[in-house]
Amino acid sequence: MKGVYSAPGDYVYFKSQVPLHKIPIGTKQWRYYDFGPKAVPPLICLPGSAGTADVFYKQIMSLSMKGYRVISVDIPRVWNHHEWIQAFEKFLDAIDVHHIHLYGTSLGGFLAQLFAQHRPRRVRSLILSNTFLDTRSFAAAMPWAPIVGWTPSFLLKRYVLTGIRDGPHEPFIADSVDFVVSQVETLSREDLASRLTLTVDAASVGPLLLSDSFITVMDTNDYCAIPLQIKDQLNERYPEARRAYLKTGGDFPFLSRPDEVNLHLQLHLRRVGVEAQPDLVRGISKDGSGGSPSEKNDEREDHDDPPKEDGGVSESPSEGQLPPAPESLESHSLDDQPISNAKLCFIDHENAITLNKQLNLALEILLQFTGEIFVQDLLHLYVWSLYITSTHSWKFKPCVKSKISRHYSC
Give the pairing type, strands 21-25 and 28-35: antiparallel
pLDDT of residue 165: 75
Residues 289 and 393 in one domain: no
Q: Are residues 17 and 117 in the same domain?
A: yes
Question: How many domains is the chain built from?
Answer: 2
Whether residue 403 lies inside any domain: the answer is yes
Whether residue 156 sits in one domain with residue 237: yes
330 within a domain of the structure (yes/no): no
DSSP 395: G
Spell out the residues 6+ positions from residue 4 whose beta carbon is closer than 8 angstroms to its own: none
**Among candidate residues 264, 299, 334, the one where a domain is terminated:** 299
pTM value?
Answer: 0.71
Are 240 and 232 contacting, i.e. CB atoms less than 8 angstroms apart? no
Say yes or no: 233 and 374 in one domain: no
Instruction: Show which of 299, 323, 338 is a domain's final residue.
Output: 299
| Residue 362 and residue 278 share a domain | no
Q: What are phi and psi of 250, to 5 degrees?
A: 65, -150
CB atoms within 10 A of CB 312: 11
Look up the CATH number of the domain holding residue 259: 3.40.50.1820
Domain end, chosen from 299, 316, 335, is at 299
- Considering the domain boundaries, does residue 305 fall inside one? no
Of 345, 344, 348, give the one whose Cα is nearest residue 356. 348
Q: Would residue 341 count as lying in a domain?
A: no
Q: Are residues 353 and 295 in the same domain?
A: no
Cα separation, 67 vs 309, whole angstroms: 25
3-state secondary structure string across 329-367 = CCCCCCCCCCCCCCCCCCCCHHHHHHHHHHHHHHHHHHH
* Same-domain check for residues 207 and 292: yes
Q: What is the pLDDT of residue 386?
A: 55
- Domain range for 405 is 349-409
Does 284 share its domain with 390?
A: no
The 8-class DSSP code of residue 410 comes to -
Is residue 242 one of the residues assigned to a domain?
Answer: yes
Q: Write out the chain's pLDDT in tens, 410 residues.
A: 445 678 899 999 999 999 999 999 989 999 999 999 999 999 999 999 999 999 999 999 999 999 999 999 999 999 999 999 999 999 999 999 999 999 999 999 999 999 999 999 999 999 999 999 999 989 888 888 888 888 999 999 999 888 787 766 788 999 999 999 999 999 999 999 999 999 999 999 999 999 999 999 999 988 888 888 999 999 999 999 999 999 999 999 999 999 999 999 999 999 999 999 999 886 554 333 444 333 333 333 344 444 333 433 333 333 433 334 333 333 343 344 443 433 333 334 444 455 555 556 655 655 565 555 444 455 445 545 555 555 554 444 444 444 444 444 44
Whether 315 is in a domain gets the answer: no
Asked if 216 and 75 sit in the same domain, the reply is yes
Alpha carbon separation from 23 to 92, 269, 330, 385 (Å, rounded): 12, 28, 21, 55
Kindly state whether residue 323 falls inside one of the protein's structural domains.
no
pLDDT of residue 166: 72
